């Protein structure tokens, strides 16, 4: 268990009768970028708060960097960017990084070296003396992000790191996440932007009603998971239902058939099945499934992202 950056088993949180997280079981390896996806109200924020010790679990176990939740020494090895920008905005950029460095217990010499380095990394070298309340939303997000890197953490929690960022800012976040992974840090990414998750994460977990529905290795996404789009006529109701043996979701609108299959080998089997069922195929195209299609297949359409 100590080899993983995060390992949880049936982590549960209830608020009175309301179940926020039903039973979270997941594992995040060291040096891995892990995406945490789910619709609003799925229990993502509560899960992150439990892992960070902000919220006490009602039941279950969790280990962070080999130590049980709430261990103070582990917090010295963890970085965290909270959702939205929630910091003391009356501080200047330099003072803000210095204050959080002090909270980490970093010696003065290291703080004085690390502060300017991180301001430069965030592209804010010329804004260190400006108060945070005078920063733009994107600048706040960037300084918040580098704050999470102050202590060269082994595990970084990023809650919506790209919200409020322009394309250049998003690229910066992507580069930082990659650099941190290359350094050996694990990154736990909570994001609504599936396209961002798709390009930065190694693995993703789909969560709904406070449970992990499925964990997926994104390196294999596209190799195994395929999307079939076909123009088909004379496809009966029974034959349509029969397609569900290969796919989690099958949609037929007019003569346009769309389905996501779990393995590439399913494609010829689907074609054989359609022909045998008497359907007439005018065109058929198979392409790699996007993360969005996977999300819809696994989580469904209820509840917005």
Q: Which residues bind another protein (CB under 8 A)?
A: 49, 52-56, 72-73, 75-76, 78, 80, 82-84, 86-88, 90-91, 99-100, 102-105, 147
**Distance in Å, CB of 275 to another protein, minimum:** 58
Measured distance CA(202)–CA(186) in Å, rounded:
10
**Distance in Å, CB of 22 to another protein, minimum:** 17
Number of DSSP helices (H) and strands (E) in the chain, helices first: 10, 14
List of residues 6+ apart from 265 with CB closer than 8 A: none
CB-wise, 17 or 285, nearer to another protein? 17
**Distance in Å, CB of 78 to another protein, minimum:** 7
CB-wise, 106 or 119, nearer to another protein? 106
CB-wise, 71 or 255, nearer to another protein? 71
Give the burial string for 245-263 (b: 16+ CB within 10 Å, else e): ebbbbbeeeeeebebbbee
Burial of 176 (0-12, 13-18, 19+ CB in 10 A): buried
**Distance in Å, CB of 153 to another protein, minimum:** 11
Contact 213, 299 (CB under 8 A): yes
**Distance in Å, CB of 72 to another protein, minimum:** 5
CB-wise, 13 or 297, nearer to another protein? 13
CB-wise, 85 or 273, nearer to another protein? 85
CB-wise, 156 or 221, nearer to another protein? 156
- In sequence order, what DSSP letters do the residues of 113-135 get, joined into one string? HHHHHHHHHTT-GGGTTSBGGGS
Measured distance CA(271)–CA(200) in Å, rounded:
34
12 DSSP 8-state letter: E
**Distance in Å, CB of 134 to another protein, minimum:** 13
Alpha-helical regions (H) of the chain: 44-51, 72-75, 93-103, 108-121, 137-147, 167-183, 194-200, 237-242, 266-276, 291-299
CB-wise, 105 or 304, nearer to another protein? 105
**Distance in Å, CB of 172 to another protein, minimum:** 20
Contact 230, 285 (CB under 8 A): yes
């Amino acid at each position: 268990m100590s080899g993983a950056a995060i390992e949880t088993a049936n982590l549960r949180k209830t608020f009175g009768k309301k179940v926020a997280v039903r039973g979270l079981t997941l594992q995040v390896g060291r040096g891995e970028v892990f995406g945490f996806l789910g619709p609003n109200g799925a229990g993502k924020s509560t899960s992150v708060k439990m892992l960070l010790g902000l919220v006490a679990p009602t039941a279950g176990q969790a280990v962070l960097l080999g130590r049980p939740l709430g261990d103070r020494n582990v917090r010295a090895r963890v970085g965290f960017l909270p959702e939205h920008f929630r910091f003391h905005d009356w501080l200047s950029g330099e003072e803000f990084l210095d204050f959080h460095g002090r909270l980490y217990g970093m010696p003065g010499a290291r703080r004085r070296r690390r502060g300017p380095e991180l301001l430069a990394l965030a592209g804010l070298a010329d804004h260190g003396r400006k108060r945070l309340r005078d920063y733009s939303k994107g600048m706040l997000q960037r300084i918040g992000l580098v704050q999470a890197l102050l202590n060269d953490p082994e595990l970084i929690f990023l809650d919506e790191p790209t919200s409020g960022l322009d394309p250049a800012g998003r690229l910066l976040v992507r580069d930082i996440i990659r650099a941190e992974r290359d350094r050996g840090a694990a990154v736990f990414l909570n994001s609504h932007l599936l396209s961002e998750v798709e390009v930065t994460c190694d693995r993703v977990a789909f969560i709904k009603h406070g449970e992990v529905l499925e964990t997926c290795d994104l390196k294999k996404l596209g190799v195994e998971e395929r999307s079939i789009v076909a123009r088909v006529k004379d496809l009966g109701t029974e034959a349509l239902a029969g397609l569900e043996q290969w796919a989690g979701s099958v949609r037929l609108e007019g003569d346009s058939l769309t389905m996501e299959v779990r393995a590439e080998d399913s494609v010829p089997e689907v074609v054989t099945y359609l022909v045998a069922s008497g359907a007439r195929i005018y065109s058929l195209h198979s392409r790699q499934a996007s993360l969005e299609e996977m999300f819809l297949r696994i989580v469904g359409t209820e509840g917005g992202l």
